A and B are shown apart, each in its own frame.
Chain A
Amino acid sequence: MISDNYIIQVSDLGKKYIIGHQKQAHYHTLRDSMAHWGRGIWQRLRRPLSPNQEKVDLEEFWALKDINFEMPQGERVGIIGPNGAGKSTLLKILSRITEPTTGRVHIRGRVSSLLEVGTGFHPELTGRENIFLNGAILGMTRAEIKRKFDEIVAFAEVEKFLDTPVKRYSSGMYVRLAFAVAAHLEPEILIVDEVLAVGDGQFQKKCLRKMEDVGQEGRTVLFVSHNMPMIASLCDRCILLNNGRICEYDTTKKVIDLYYSKDGIGNGEVDFTRRDRQPGDKSARLLKVRTLNSQGETTTEIRIDEPVTVEMEYELLADNLGVTPEFVFWNAEGVCVFDAQDTPVDPRGELKKEKGLYLARCHIPPDFLNDGTYYIGFLLSKAFKTNWHFNEKDILMLRIVDPLDNIITRGWYSGKIPGVVRPVLQWESVKMSYN
């Protein structure tokens, strides 16, 4: 049933890319094109009735297909899904950066899209100048920027550096300023892509609060993120995208649970080999990831006093690679708890690995993490380099539960114990004197 009470209505939306044209060749040269035309004409002349061969050679790829949904006004909707599911393409179409191939979108209101903070920032310009410039780029009028100027400056905490070129800013200040401008937009519809994944924890929280305010003011927000805790705390409902199609559009909790369960029905394993594409690049691919309990069974839930093992299977497609597998744990507040690397085995990534299948395993001791929900990311970094072969965030969810029967870490207290970790440490308590 199509209701009339929507602010965004998307019907039969699709976006097709031609792989080999737009994807592989970064840009053409005129010569390539001329040679291409030349070949085409030659073939036409030789065999006028045969199908156009050049066309057959190109592969079509639907980044989005049959997308249908409606958003009522004032709702905050999250879009989640694995990498390459089409999340960014959808946002780009909704913010009119790229055109759809099929379908129609009807939007009733002013849209501001934040696909990146600091778009159009110029390093040579001062903070003051960049506020005006970035505001204008994001669609604010001059009067609007002037009115909010002081608020933006206070939010970014850069008062002292207003007349310094932003190229002299620390990266933290830069991001704060960029986000401050964005946070003071007042559109009817706000489209946000993964921009909150920047800045220090303190500032992230501030941004989060600001975003919540935005939602409470009756504004409609469409939010793409890999950060499940953030999605969970910000969004009323969620769209789960996979392979360019909508799998589910329901309440956030249901959709997040579905997302983490769809590959192994809640058993703590994701098998990428069953998907069309595996995360990775030309030389390495991520195949499988899982969390195991002490019995070696895959699991999503573990007692606080139990050890847990995290595994990833990956494939190296080239010889002589120096790689470092890493597991990154995030908690429900969006704080990175730790980033474990296999440096004890191979401190500098000097072990050159041959092509083939590999398993990396990491044991997390019992009584280490506090109870709560954790999201695990999997990364294969290149030795000596700051980039990676794959970096998949929030692939697995792990719940650490405290059954309240272990008095070693909590005594007789039964409430929530604060802290990111809850280690069992060595204690010494001795009586020192009578008085």
Chain B
Amino acid sequence: MHEIIIEPDKSVKHYWRELWQYRGLFYFLTWRDLLVRYKQTVFGIAWSVLRPVLTMLILTVVFGKIAHLPSGGTPYPILVFVAMLPWQFFSSTLTVGGTSIVTHSNMITKIYFPRLIIPTTSMVVSLVDFAISFVLLLVLMIVYGFWPNSKIFVLPLLLILAAMTSLGIGYWVTALNVKYRDFRYIIPFLVQFGLYISPVGFSSALVPDAWRLIYSLNPMVGVIDGFRWALLGNQIVLYIPGFILSIVLSMILFISGIWFFRKTERSFADII
């Protein structure tokens, strides 16, 4: 028989099993977000194509053509586009996910479900954009006659790394945003700022060696470098200590993010 015990400060023993039981809701919320996304937009799904292409053009012009930054032998648009894959995935997960609990306050105060579902949904929605961008990248590569080698098969692992980083920061920010609405302002700033301090528009090889490890404290550096390493053939040498640092940081963010979210989620309905 289905039994529920409600007690104060009970650490939910069956948290993960319950999360699994609510997978249907997870599916439907994702489905809804995808459906709603482009309703009443003129260009519809074309926005998923236009956005990355325009961003890529601007970054290429600014960093490649105006600033004349070296690309290490890779065509500049491809160098930029490869980095934009994880970056856009990260930024849209964070932007949508970060405010998601507050946006769904109506549901939070009326219905019980594991709250972790809500910010995680935004990651899956971003994943769809990621897939579209990935197809665009392939087209771009065909245009430039640029072929990735077998390292491309490491890509799924790198995608998991990107997801962990985005969700880790996302969980922290989402939970904090419930109590401190300051994060509503911090998130866009973080995303905008992050675009420039992460090696999206340029190669991280430009960073002086002495600073490289410190630079890798930004976990997205490892993720982006990983993507370039996997997709851009042999021109890219992966800076191993920095990459390992990024992985460790991503894991810490992800685990602590879940911990913090779970710790605070029981009071969401009271303070939202």
Whether B111 contacts A138 by the Cβ 8 Å rule is yes
Tell me, yes or no, whether B258 is within 8 Å of chain A by CB: no
Contact with B4, one of A107, A119, A120, A125 (Cβ below 8 angstroms): A107
Whether A119 contacts B110 by the Cβ 8 Å rule is yes
Whether B7 contacts A110 by the Cβ 8 Å rule is no
Contact with B112, one of A108, A109, A113 (Cβ below 8 angstroms): A113
Whether A96 contacts B182 by the Cβ 8 Å rule is no
Shortest Cβ distance from B178 into A: residue: A27
CA distance A77 to B118 in the complex (A): 33
Tell me, yes or no, whether A99 is within 8 Å of chain B by CB: yes
Contact with B8, one of A99, A113, A119 (Cβ below 8 angstroms): A99
A28-B179, A29-B181, A107-B3 as given contacts; A97 in contact with B24, CB under 8 Å: no
Shortest Cβ distance from A117 into B: residue: B110
Contact with B111, one of A33, A109, A124, A137 (Cβ below 8 angstroms): A137
In the complex, how many angstroms separate the beta carbon of A152 from the nearest chain B beta carbon?
16
Whether A122 contacts B32 by the Cβ 8 Å rule is yes
Contact with A101, one of B8, B36, B180 (Cβ below 8 angstroms): B8
| In the complex, chain B residues 80-112 whose Cβ is within 8 Å of any chain A Cβ | 106-112
Tell me, yes or no, whether A146 is within 8 Å of chain B by CB: no
Tell me, yes or no, whether B267 is within 8 Å of chain A by CB: yes
Shortest Cβ distance from B37 into A: residue: A124
Shortest Cβ distance from A27 into B: residue: B181
Tell me, yes or no, whether A133 is within 8 Å of chain B by CB: yes
**Cβ proximity bits A163-196 to B, threshold 8 Å, 1 near / 0 not:** 0010000000000000000000000100000000
Contacts of A93 in B (CB 8 A): 6
Tell me, yes or no, whether B150 is within 8 Å of chain A by CB: no
Number of A residues near B (Cβ < 8 Å) is 47
Tell me, yes or no, whether B271 is within 8 Å of chain A by CB: yes
Shortest Cβ distance from A165 into B: residue: B39
Tell me, yes or no, whether A115 is within 8 Å of chain B by CB: yes
Number of B residues near A (Cβ < 8 Å) is 38
The number of A-B residue pairs with CB atoms under 8 Å apart is 119
Whether A111 contacts B9 by the Cβ 8 Å rule is no
Contacts of A102 in B (CB 8 A): 8
Whether A30 contacts B182 by the Cβ 8 Å rule is yes
Whether B8 contacts A109 by the Cβ 8 Å rule is no
Whether B111 contacts A113 by the Cβ 8 Å rule is yes
Tell me, yes or no, whether A325 is within 8 Å of chain B by CB: no
Shortest Cβ distance from B39 into A: residue: A124
Tell me, yes or no, whether A17 is within 8 Å of chain B by CB: yes
CB within 8 Å of B: which residues of A?
Answer: 17, 22, 27-31, 33, 92-111, 113, 115-116, 119-120, 122, 124-125, 129, 132-133, 136-139, 141-142, 165, 188
| A/B interface sample: 30 pairs, CB < 8 A | A22-B271, A27-B179, A27-B180, A28-B180, A29-B182, A92-B269, A95-B111, A97-B110, A97-B269, A98-B267, A99-B6, A99-B8, A105-B4, A105-B5, A106-B6, A107-B3, A107-B4, A108-B4, A109-B1, A109-B2, A113-B110, A119-B106, A119-B111, A120-B111, A122-B36, A124-B39, A132-B28, A133-B32, A136-B25, A136-B28
Question: 11 extra interchain contacts, Cβ-Cβ under 8 A, other than A97-B108, A99-B267, A119-B107?
Answer: A30-B180, A92-B109, A92-B269, A97-B269, A98-B270, A104-B7, A107-B5, A109-B1, A120-B111, A124-B40, A165-B39
